[in-house]
Amino acid sequence: MADLKRQIIEQLNLKDVKPEDIGDDQPLFVEGLGLDSIDALELIVLLQQEYKIKLANAEEGQSVFRSVRTMAQYITEHQPKTI
Amino acid sequence: MYIQAAAGISPQRSFEAILTQPQNYNGNRLSCQEPDYAQLIDPRMIRRMSRIIKMGVAAAKECLREAGWEVPDAIITGTAYGCLADTELFLAKMIENKEELLTPTAFIQSTHNTVGAQIALLLKCHNYNNTFVHRGFSFESALLDAITLIKEEEISTALVGGVDEITPVSHAILSRFGLYRKEHTDSAALLNTPGKGTMAGEGALFFALSASPSGNDCAKLDDIYTFYKPADRGAVKEQILSFLQRNRLAVKDIDLVITGENGDVAGDAVYTALKTGVWGNAPAISFKQLCGEYPTATGFALWLAVHILHTGKVPGLSPATKPRRVLIYNHYQHIHHSIYLLTAC
Amino acid sequence: MLIKPVFIAGAGVISAIGNNVQQHLHALESGTAGMGNMTYLGSAHKHRLPVAEVKMSNEELAGLTGLPAHISRTALLSSVAAKEALLQSGMDDIQPWRTGFISANTVGGMDKTENFFVDFLKDNRKGRLRNVVHHECGAATEITANHLGIKNYVSTISTACSSSANAIFFGARLIRQDILDVVVAGGADALTKFTLNGFNTLMILDQQYCQPFDENRRGLNLGEGAGYIVMVSEKVASSLKKAPVCTLSGYCNANDAYHQTASSPDGTGSFLAMKGAMKKSGLQPGDIDYINLHGTGTQNNDIAEGTAIKLLFKDRFPKMSSTKSFTGHTLGASGGIEAVFSVLSIQHGMVYPNLRFETQMKELPFAPETVFSKGQPIRHVLSNSFGFGGNCSSLIFSKM
C-alpha cells in the first residue's frame, strides 16, 4: 500500500502530502484527502498504466477509490495473472 | 473609466525598481520575476496549475488586494497564446503514447479561459467572465469588453488582465519564424542597437476598472482605440490624429508618449516616422526594453502608464512637472495597432 | 436594465448535417443526424468513437471558398459559413458600414499543429512552419475577416463551449454603443485529435450516437462546423431590401464558480445565465416558446441544465430540444450554429426534435420534443451554451 500511496501522490501532484500522511482507510475524496472528479480520472489511468487494470466507466471509480485499502483490494482482485 | 489598481507579474520586480535599477536581461528573452506562489494560492488549487495560470491568478489577486475589492462585477482576460505549457504537454503525450493512456489534467487546464475561470473559482464569483484570444488585440478586446459593459451599466467594476507566457517550445517555434534576435543581446541596449528581430517577453498584468471615481484612483483611462492592418505609415498617422481629434486634443496636450519599439528595424520604422511626423518634441519613452515583445505587451505599457501618472515619476526622464496626460501607441507585427489615452486623477 | 435590441439580418452554417442553411433545413426536418465513422480525422479511435464530421474534405472546402487547402480546417469552415451569412443578409456591399467580425474557436489551428508536432518532437528544427503559423485562435478569425473584406474590427473569444454565444453578444453590444454598424458573429471549430483525446480522457464520449436529456444518456459525440449571424443596427436594418427576421433581445453570461470542468448539481451558472437573459429582454419564463438546449448528452451537463430549467420555469415548460443530437457537440462553434437554428426556428416557426430520445430523466418533470414541427407560433427562443471554467451563456432571439 505504501507503493500505491507514492504513486497516487505522484500522479495527482500532491506536493505537500507524504505517503505516511494518507491513512489506509482515510477517504480519498471530498472530506478526506479532498480529491475530485478529475483526480478520479487520473487514478483510472494510474490503474491502467501501473497495474494493467481497465475500469469500464468513471462511475465504477467511486467505490474503487474510496480509500487506499479499497484500491489495493481491487488491484489484488483484478490484476492480470502473469503466470 | 477609473483605474483603481494596476498590478501584476512581469520581467520587472516593481515600478520603483524600474526607476532605480531596472532588471536587465542578456540573451534572447525577458522572463518574469515570479513570487513564491505557495504564499499566494491555496495549495489544493495550485497543484494543477501550470506557470501561466499561477502567474495570472497571483497577479489578479494582487490587483484585487490593492483595489480593496473582494469580488468584481466582471473578470475579463486577454491572452494570445493561452495556456501553452499544458497544450504542449497534452499534445506531446498524445503523440508519444499514440492516443492511449492519457490523463485529463493538462487537457482541462489547456483551455484558453482557464486563468479567468480559476480566478472566478477562487473568488466564488458568479459574475460575467470572458476571455479574448485575438493575437495583438487580445488585451485591447478585453478592455473594450469591460468599457462597453460599464457604459451599458451592466457592471460598475471589472478586473481586466493581459496574460501570456514564453515556453521553451513557443520560443523555439517563434525563433524559427525569425521573431527574435539570433545573437545574444542586452535588453538595456535592445532599442539602441537596431537589428533583425527582438527579444521575447511575457507577463500577467491586471487592472481594477471602475465606472465611478473612488477618491483613491491611480489614473483615468479616457479612451482606447485599435486598428487592423493599416495600408501604410500614412494611414497610421491618420488614425492617431483622428484619435486625438475625437478626444479634442492636440499633440501639445500630451505630456508623455509611450511607444512600443522593440529593436526590430522593420517594425520600428513606423515609430521613427511618427516621432518626426507626429510627436515632435513631446517627451517620449519606450517600454519593450523592460518587458520584451509579446502580443499582450500593451498590458505592461498600461501598467507602466498608470504608475507614471500615479507617482508623477517617469523612468529614464526627469520631467519638470508631473505628467498629467499620457498616450500609448503600439503595434504588434505591423498588424495590430492600439492607442490608449490616460489622465492623472 | 432593458436593452435596445439589435437586428438579425442573415445567418450561415456548416456542420455534419449540411453545408449551408438550405441543407440544414432539410436535415432538421427529415431527422437526419450527422454522426458516423471518422472519414477525415485520422485518429487511433477511428473505429470506437463516432463523430459528426462535415462531409467535405479540406480540398473541397478550399474549392468552395477559394482559400488554399493547406490552412486550418477551422478557418475553412469559418469562411464558408460567415460568407453565407453575409450573402444571405442581402448586403451587397459592406463598405459604407463600420463592420466587424467577431469569431470564436477553442483550439485555433490545432488540426495543423498536431501534425507539425509529430516532427517537431523528434527534432525542434523540423516540422513545416506553414502548419503552425495559424496555431493561434485569432489566426482563423483573420483568415475569414480578410476573406470577407472586413477590416474595421476583428476579435476572437475563447471560453470553451460557450465561446460563440459570447462572441454574439459582445458584437451586439458594439452595435448598440454605436461603435460598429454591422457585426458578423459566431464561431467555428474543426475536429482535432487533441480535442477528441481530451474529451476521451474525461470519459464523457459516447461510443454510440448520443442521447441528450435521456435517462440512459452515455455522453457526447464531438462534431465540427461553423455558424454565424449578421447583426445590424436599426439604421442599417431600415436600409435593407429584406426586413430582418428577428432581434437579439436578451443575453447573459454567468459563472458557475463550482469546478473547472463539472457543473454544479443544481446548475447555478445555467440558472443565472437564463434568468439574466430574460431580465434583459424584459420577458417572463412563460414568454419563451422554445429552448435550444446546451444538451450535450453527458450525465453532468444535462442534469445541471435540466435542474436549472426546472427551477426557473417551475410548472410551465416550453418546448425544448438539443440539436446536438444532429450535429454533435461542435464546441466553439456550437453557440453560433445553435444561434442560427434559433433564428430559423423563429423564421419558419419550427421546433426541432431531440433525436433518439427514449426515456424521460427521472429527476425532471419534462421531456424534450421528439418530432419536428413547422408553422408554430414561435416568438421567443432561448439558446443555451455552457462551457469549461463554469462559463454559462444564454441568448434570447425574438420575432419582430
Reported as a single tens digit per residue, the pLDDT across C77-124 is 999 999 999 999 988 789 999 999 999 999 999 999 999 999 999 999
Q: What is the DSSP string of B258-303?
A: EE---SBHHHHHHHHHHIIIIITTS-EEE-HHHH-B-TTTHHHHHH
Q: Are residues C164 and C91 in the same domain?
A: yes
Residue B49 has pLDDT above 80, yes or no: yes
Residue C373 has pLDDT above 60, yes or no: yes
Q: Which residues contact C66 (CB under 8 A, 6 or more apart)?
A: none
Residues of A in contact with C202 (CB under 8 A): 41
Q: Does residue C280 fall inside a structural domain? A: yes
**Hunting for cell 478585453 — which residue is that?**
B142
Residue C233 has pLDDT above 90, yes or no: yes
Residue C1 has pLDDT above 60, yes or no: no
Q: Where are the alpha helices (DSSP H) in chain C?
A: 21-30, 58-65, 73-88, 110-122, 137-148, 163-176, 193-201, 234-239, 268-281, 299-313, 324-327, 334-348
pLDDT 10s digits, B160-179: 999 999 999 999 999 999 99
The DSSP secondary-structure symbol of B317 reads: B
* Of B229 and C241, the one with more pLDDT: B229
Q: Does residue C33 fall inside a structural domain? A: yes
pLDDT 10s digits, C37-78: 999 999 999 999 999 999 999 999 999 999 999 999 999 999
Distance CA C171, CA C86 (A): 15
| C202 Cβ under 8 Å from any chain A Cβ | yes
The tally of domains found in chain C comes to 2
Distance CA B337, CA B230 (A): 8
Residue C5 has pLDDT above 80, yes or no: no
Q: Are residues C66 and C159 in the same domain?
A: yes
pLDDT 10s digits, A31-42: 778 888 899 999
Domain boundary, last residue among C239, C272, C288: C239
Give the strand pairing for C6-15 and C246-255: antiparallel
Q: Are residues C170 and C95 in the same domain?
A: yes
Mark which residues 44-63 of B lie under 8 Å from C by CB: 48
Of C201, C203, C262, the CB nearest to A57: C203
pLDDT 10s digits, C258-307: 998 999 999 999 999 999 999 999 999 999 999 999 999 999 999 999 99
Q: What pLDDT sits at residue C3?
A: 65
Q: Complex ipTM, two decimals? A: 0.97
Q: Which residue of A has its CA nearest to B101?
A: A45
Q: Are residues C123 and C227 in the same domain?
A: yes
Q: Give the mean pLDDT of chain C.
A: 96
Cell numbers found for residue C242: 429584406
pTM attached to this predicted model:
0.97
Distance CA B83, CA B133 (A): 11
Q: Are residues C13 and C131 in the same domain?
A: yes
Give the strand pairing for B256-259 and B325-332: parallel
- The amino acid sitting at B72 is P
Distance CA C221, CA C105 (A): 18
Q: Give the mean pLDDT of chain B.
A: 97
Distance CA C164, CA C188 (A): 8
Of B43, B102, B105, the CB nearest to A16: B43
Distance CA A39, CA A30 (A): 11
Give the strand pairing for B157-164 and C99-104: unpaired
Of C43, C155, C257, the CB nearest to B141: C155
Interface contact flag, C203 A38, Cβ < 8 Å: no
Mean of pLDDT values over B119-142: 98
Q: Are residues C92 and C205 in the same domain?
A: yes
Mean of pLDDT values over B291-305: 98
Query: Cα C74 from chain centroid?
Result: 13
pLDDT grade for B42, boundaries at 50, 70 and 90: confident
What subunits make at least 3 CB pairs under 8 angstroms with B? A, C
Q: What pLDDT sits at residue B229?
A: 97
pLDDT grade for A82, boundaries at 50, 70 and 90: low
- The amino acid sitting at B285 is I
- Classify residue A50 as exposed, middle or buried by CB count within 10 Å of its CB (0-12, 13-18, 19+): middle
Nearest-Cα distance to chain B for A45, in Å, is 6
Q: Are residues C328 and C214 in the same domain?
A: no
Tell me if residue C220 falls in helix, strand or coil: strand
Q: What pLDDT sits at residue A30?
A: 77
| Catalytic site positions of C | 161, 294, 329
Q: What is the DSSP string of B173-201?
A: HHHHTT-B-SS-EEGGGTTTS-BSSB-B-
CA B299-B223-B128 angle, to 5 degrees, is 65
pLDDT 10s digits, C158-212: 999 999 999 999 999 999 999 999 999 999 999 999 999 999 999 999 999 999 9
Instruction: Domains for chain A: give ranges and CATH numbers.
Output: 2-78 (1.10.1200.10)
Q: What are phi and psi of C322, to 5 degrees?
A: -105, 115
Tell me if residue C117 falls in helix, strand or coil: helix
Nearest-Cα distance to chain B for A39, in Å, is 8
Q: Does residue C1 fall inside a structural domain? A: no
Q: What pLDDT sits at residue C2?
A: 57
Domain boundary, last residue among C194, C219, C239: C239
| B44 Cβ under 8 Å from any chain A Cβ | yes
CA B233-B236-B242 angle, to 5 degrees, is 145
Residue A83 has pLDDT above 60, yes or no: no
Tell me if residue C8 falls in helix, strand or coil: strand
Query: Cα C138 from chain centroid?
Result: 17
Q: What pLDDT sits at residue B43?
A: 81
Q: Does residue C268 fall inside a structural domain? A: yes
Of A12, A13, A48, the CB nearest to B101: A48
Q: Are residues C26 and C175 in the same domain?
A: yes
Nearest-Cα distance to chain A for C10, in Å, is 41
Domain boundary, last residue among C195, C217, C239: C239
Instruction: Domains for chain B: give ranges and CATH numbers.
Output: 2-210 (3.40.47.10), 221-343 (3.40.47.10)
Interface with chain A: mutation pick from B47, B50, B98, highest number of A CBs within 10 Å = B47
Q: Are residues C79 and C224 in the same domain?
A: yes
Cβ atoms of residues B240 and B278 within 8 Å: yes
What subunits make at least 3 CB pairs under 8 angstroms with C? A, B
Q: Are residues C75 and C108 in the same domain?
A: yes
Distance CA C21, CA C231 (A): 17
Q: Are residues C232 and C253 in the same domain?
A: no
**Hunting for cell 432561448 — which residue is that?**
C382
Q: Which residue of C has its CA nearest to B139?
A: C155
Q: Are residues C178 and C256 in the same domain?
A: no
Residue C163: domain span: 6-239
| CATH label of the domain that carries residue C22 | 3.40.47.10
Cell numbers found for residue C194: 487533441
Mark which residues 176-195 of B lie under 8 Å from C by CB: 176-177
Mean of pLDDT values over B189-197: 94
